[in-house]
Amino acid sequence: MNTALRKVGVPVLSILIFLVLWELLVWANGWPNYVMASPSDLPEAYARFWELFLLGSWQTLWRTVAGLLLAVIFGLALGMVMGFSRIVRDGLYPLLVGFNAIPKATLVPVLALLFIGQHNFNTVMMAFLISFFPIAVSVAIGLSTLEPEYRDILRALGASRMTIFWKIALPKTLPEFFGALKVAVTLAFIGTNLVEIVSPHGRGLGALFLSGQTNSNYPLMFAVLIALAVLGIVLYYAVVAMERIFAGWAERAET
Amino acid sequence: MSDLIDIRGVAHAYRTPSGPLPVLDGLDIAIPRGEFCAVVGPSGCGKSTLTRLVAGLMKPDKGEVRLDGAPIRGPRKNVGMAFQNPVLLEWRSILDNVILPLEIVAPSMPRKERVARAEELLAMVGLEGFEAKRPSELSGGMRQRASLCRAIVHKPDVLIMDEPFGALDNFTREDLWQTMRQLRAAEPFTAVLITHDLRESVYLGDQVVVLSGRPARTQYVMNVDLPDERPLDILYTPKVGEMLHVLRDQIKIAQGRGEGPGEGAAA
Ligand SMILES: Nc1ncnc2c1ncn2[C@@H]1O[C@H](COP(=O)(O)OP(=O)(O)OP(=O)(O)O)[C@@H](O)[C@H]1O
Ligand SMILES: [Mg+2]
């Protein structure tokens, strides 16, 4: 009971304190709305544009999740071949690192030119491109550092590589995989928003932000930022919940 | 002729960046069906390599490893392995860890039978009531017991153990020796045990093979002429004391400091 109260109460309290401090800061400096909106301006923005918020959130959400799913599938596959084959690992690593080092904002115009007008596709692609790297690397490292004994207990019985992967290598890598997925979900979210904000005639919360900017509706812009933060938190904790379900054993093992 | 495991004239070298590293050369070991063979030798002489050959995980460069008369060509379903590290899977219960080999070897076996078999073994090694626990909830000795159960759950012909008790404290180790003898009496396996503990080799073995330093050859074979009923006290009898002494001397020779004036320096 007490711990449950603390788990919910402490974060809620810290958010409230944050909002009060923000309100105080704006009030003390006497900033007008076009410099910085205060929390008390936000409810009005939500009330006026709630339909747009719902639609935008949905669009941002599904495209992020779609991109992340692609990243999981591709990252797992790539991590598998890299984890099992030294040659592939040595060959692909520099390429991957180089690709990861490119600031992804530069890919927005490239994608936009490659797939003109395919806004949904571009957004999903960006979410995917920006987030598959940590997944692939974590799976590759997890598989390549598997102690040989783990493999040998099944290999000595004539088990196939696939069987060893499903029964031992994959579950053993799950904690690392979810660690990477937590990073990846945040990255995918950033990727989605990047495209939404930069593209003309975009969709999602990013586009709503842009329209707030073009109409000089500052409370709306701040309201979008808060909505983005909330959506980001939801996505992150969805991954944490999945981690509890599929790799909860790793947590217990540590204590 | 009636040997289950027959290793004859085996030589093997690992290919390393700095050229081939001969690890085994002139290895001969014969183990009759149902017997327990303990292998001792200096560190790094090639003992683990020997287990990988018998398990069919590797093929020797030269010579032959035969099982029941036929050369071993690769992994087989009728072998069980246990290592110094118990390598239990943390996401499975102890029971499901023990069942694992059955999922590979006997995929059509009903779950009920698998569970019954695993429970039977766990009870035999004193892990009754721990079936639902996670590996991390068990002590090191208990984990090693579970690991042994997993190695023999599918009734393998050959049980290969690579220093399974090496990381345990002395008392736990002695407990496990006794458990090992009980398992041996109840289960039909033929065993190869790698160890660096001479008392362990004598207490558990029907024969003790001493390997030379790298590249390892069979340097000495001792037939352990002790009754099947072996209380731990037997280790403190003069007879066993003498056997241990002989083995000790052989190890010194294997380490290259047994003969001549070097002997005093080695003590
Ligand atoms: N895969 C490998 N590639 C190259 N060299 C290897 C390989 N495996 C083992 N070796 C080398 O072969 C030698 C024998 O190794 P092995 O593991 O069989 O010895 P061991 O007798 O089991 O040693 P220990 O007593 O430490 O367990 C060692 O020098 C080791 O460095
Ligand atoms: Mg070894």
Give domain status of residue B57, yes or no. Answer: yes
In angstroms, what CA-CA distances link B250 with A80, B42, B170, B226, B254? 47, 10, 23, 20, 6
Give CA A146 to chain center in angstroms. 27
Give domain status of residue B92, yes or no. Answer: no
Is residue B266 predicted with pLDDT exceeding 70? no
Question: Mean pLDDT, chain B, as a whole number?
Answer: 91
Give domain status of residue A28, yes or no. Answer: no
CATH number reported for the structural domain that contains residue A69 in this entry:
1.10.3720.10
Is residue B262 predicted with pLDDT exceeding 90? no
- Any residues with Cβ below 6 Å from ligand 1, and which? B 14, 16, 21, 23, 43-49
Cβ–Cβ below 8 Å for A156 and B57: yes
Give domain status of residue A212, yes or no. Answer: yes
Q: What mean pLDDT comes out for the span B186-195?
A: 94
Give domain status of residue A118, yes or no. Answer: yes
Long-range contact list for A47-54, CB < 8 A, 24+ apart?
A49/A208, A49/A220, A49/A223, A52/A208, A53/A205, A53/A208, A53/A223, A53/A224, A53/A227
CATH number reported for the structural domain that contains residue B29 in this entry:
3.40.50.300
Is residue B267 predicted with pLDDT exceeding 70? no
Placement of tokens 């569970």 in the chain:
B115
- Judged by phi (left if over 0) then psi (alpha if -120 to 50, else beta), residue B37 lies in beta
Burial class (CB in 10 A: 0-12, 13-18, 19+), B154: buried
- What is the total count of domains within chain B? 1
Largest CA distance in chain A: 75
Task: Give the N- to C-terminal CA distance of chain B in Å, as an integer.
Answer: 41
Sign of the CA dihedral B161, B166, B172, B178? positive
Give domain status of residue B102, yes or no. Answer: no
pLDDT at A39: 87
Give me the tens of pLDDT residue by residue for chain A, a chain 255 residues long: 578 888 888 888 998 999 999 999 988 988 887 778 888 888 888 889 889 999 999 999 999 999 999 999 999 999 999 988 889 888 988 888 898 888 888 888 888 888 877 888 989 999 999 999 999 999 998 888 889 999 999 999 999 988 998 999 999 999 999 999 999 999 999 999 999 988 877 889 989 999 888 888 888 888 999 899 999 999 999 999 999 999 888 875 554
Task: Identify the band that residue B261 occupies on the pLDDT scale cut at 50, 70 and 90.
Answer: very low
Q: Of B90, B148, B158, which to mutate for an interface test with A (greatest number of A Cβ within 10 Å)?
A: B90
Give domain status of residue B215, yes or no. Answer: yes
Which residues, listed in sequence order, are joined to residue B65 by a DSSP beta bridge? B7
Task: Give the ligand whose atoms come closest to the C-alpha of residue B24.
Answer: 1
pLDDT at B263: 39
Please check whether residue A249 touches B, CB under 8 A: yes
Phi and psi, residue B88, nearest 5°: -85, 150
Phi and psi, residue B79, nearest 5°: -125, 150
Distance CA A79, CA A137 (A): 6
Tell me which residue of B225, B198, B214, B203 sits closest to B254, measured CA to CA.
B214
Give the structural domain span for B30. 3-72+192-266
Give domain status of residue A20, yes or no. Answer: no
Give domain status of residue A8, yes or no. Answer: no
Give domain status of residue B260, yes or no. Answer: yes
Q: What mean pLDDT comes out for the span B62-68?
A: 92
Is residue B202 predicted with pLDDT exceeding 80? yes
Task: Identify the band that residue B265 occupies on the pLDDT scale cut at 50, 70 and 90.
Answer: very low
Give domain status of residue A69, yes or no. Answer: yes
Cβ–Cβ below 8 Å for B104 and A159: yes
Give domain status of residue B167, yes or no. Answer: no
Nearest CA in chain A to B150: A153
- What is the total count of domains within chain A? 1
Give the structural domain span for A146. 42-250
Give domain status of residue B233, yes or no. Answer: yes
pLDDT at A243: 93
Considering the entire predicted model, what is its pTM? 0.83
Give domain status of residue B59, yes or no. Answer: yes
Give domain status of residue A208, yes or no. Answer: yes
pLDDT tens digit sequence for B211-252: 998 889 999 999 999 998 889 999 999 999 999 999 999 999
pLDDT at B258: 55
Give domain status of residue A171, yes or no. Answer: yes
